C-alpha cells in the first residue's frame, strides 16, 4: 500500500484517480482549492483546501508521500488564449510550488498531448511545467494525457463544458439545443480535427501502475492509439444514444491543431473501453 497525494482531487480526472487508488488499497490524501463538485470523502483520509499558487515554505503539507499525482491545473485551451497569465501562474508556478514544498518519493505529473503541437498558452504552460519537474524532482513520471472522456458512473466533468464529448452528451440529453464543431476545413478525412480519446478509468489505472516505478523519461503517453474526428465522435454519440441532435459548423478556434494521436502508448496503458463506451457513459451520467 502506498501513501498518495492527489492534487486537483475534486476535479474530473483527480476524483477518478482518488477512487481507483482507494479501491486498490492505497492511502489517499487529497488537495484542491475548493471542496465541492465530485464527492470524494469516502475515498480519502485527509483533505487539504489549498490553492497550489499559494503553497510555499510557510504553507506546506507536513507529510511525506510515496507519490504525488499532480492533476491540479487550468485546462481550457480557449480560455488560455484569453488569459495566458493565469495559465502560466497556475500550471507552471503552481506545479513548482507543489514539487518543491511537498515531500515525496515520486512526482507524477499530468501533462497534455497538446504538448506535441504547442499552439495554445495552455499547452505551452504544460511544457514549461514538464521541464520544471525534470529539473526539480529526483524521481518523476510525466504523463501526456490525450482526450480523456467517459466516467465511472459516479464522478463527472463539473467545469464549464469545453470538451467535445461532454458537450455532445449534454446536447443528446437536451441540456443544450445544439453542438458546434469548430473547423471543417482541416486536412483530415472529413475536414474536422482528429483526436485520440481514452476512457478516464483506463487512464486512472495506468497512473496507478506507475506509482512504484518512476520512469524519469521525457514523457509517457496515455491515449488509446486511435484517432477519431470530431464528426465521428458526434455521430458515435448520436448512434449510442439514439438521439439525432442538431450539429452546427463553426470557424476554427485559435490554438487547435488538426491532429493529435498517440504514436507510442506508455507501457502502463491497458485499453478496456471503446469510443462507444465513453460516449454512452458520458450520456448516462448527464441523464442522471
* Residues recognised as catalytic: 122
Cβ contacts of 80 within 8 Å, gap of 6 or more:
74, 86, 87, 120, 121, 122, 125, 255
Residue with C-alpha cell 510525466?
142
CA 43 vs CA 1, 29, 63, 262: distances in Å:
14, 9, 18, 31
> Angle, to 10 degrees, between the axis of helix 230-241 and the axis of helix 275-287?
60
CA 209 vs CA 197, 205, 206: distances in Å:
20, 6, 5
- Sign for the CA dihedral angle at 231, 262, 142, 13 comes to positive
Rounded distance, CA 252 to CA 244, Å? 24
Amino acid at each position: 500500500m502506498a501513501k498518495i497525494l492527489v492534487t486537483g482531487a475534486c476535479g474530473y480526472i483527480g476524483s477518478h484517480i482518488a477512487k481507483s487508488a482507494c479501491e486498490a488499497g492505497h492511502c489517499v490524501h487529497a488537495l484542491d482549492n475548493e471542496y465541492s463538485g465530485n464527492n470524494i470523502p469516502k475515498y480519502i483520509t485527509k483533505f487539504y483546501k489549498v490553492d497550489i499558487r499559494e503553497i510555499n515554505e510557510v504553507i506546506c503539507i507536513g507529510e511525506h508521500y510515496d507519490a504525488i499525482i499532480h492533476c491540479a491545473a487550468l485546462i481550457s485551451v480557449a480560455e488560455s488564449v484569453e488569459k495566458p497569465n493565469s495559465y502560466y501562474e497556475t500550471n507552471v508556478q503552481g506545479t513548482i510550488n507543489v514539487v518543491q514544498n511537498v515531500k515525496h518519493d515520486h512526482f507524477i505529473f499530468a501533462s497534455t498531448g497538446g504538448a506535441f503541437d504547442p499552439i495554445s498558452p495552455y499547452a505551452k504552460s504544460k511544457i514549461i511545467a514538464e521541464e520544471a519537474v525534470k529539473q526539480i524532482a529526483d524521481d518523476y513520471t510525466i504523463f501526456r494525457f490525450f482526450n480523456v472522456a467517459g466516467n465511472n458512473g459516479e464522478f463527472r466533468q463539473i467545469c464549464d463544458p469545453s470538451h467535445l464529448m461532454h458537450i455532445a452528451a449534454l446536447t443528446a440529453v437536451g441540456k443544450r439545443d445544439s453542438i458546434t464543431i469548430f473547423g471543417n476545413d482541416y486536412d483530415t478525412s472529413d475536414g474536422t480535427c482528429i483526436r485520440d480519446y481514452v476512457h478516464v478509468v483506463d487512464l486512472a489505472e495506468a497512473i496507478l501502475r506507475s506509482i512504484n516505478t518512476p520512469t524519469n523519461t521525457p514523457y509517457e503517453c496515455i491515449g488509446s492509439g486511435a484517432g477519431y474526428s470530431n464528426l465521428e465522435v458526434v455521430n458515435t454519440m448520436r448512434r449510442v444514444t439514439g438521439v439525432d441532435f442538431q450539429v452546427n459548423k463553426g470557424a476554427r478556434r485559435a490554438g487547435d491543431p488538426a491532429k493529435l494521436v498517440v504514436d507510442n502508448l506508455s507501457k502502463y496503458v491497458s485499453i478496456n473501453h471503446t469510443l462507444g463506451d465513453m460516449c454512452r457513459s458520458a450520456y448516462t451520467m448527464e441523464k442522471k
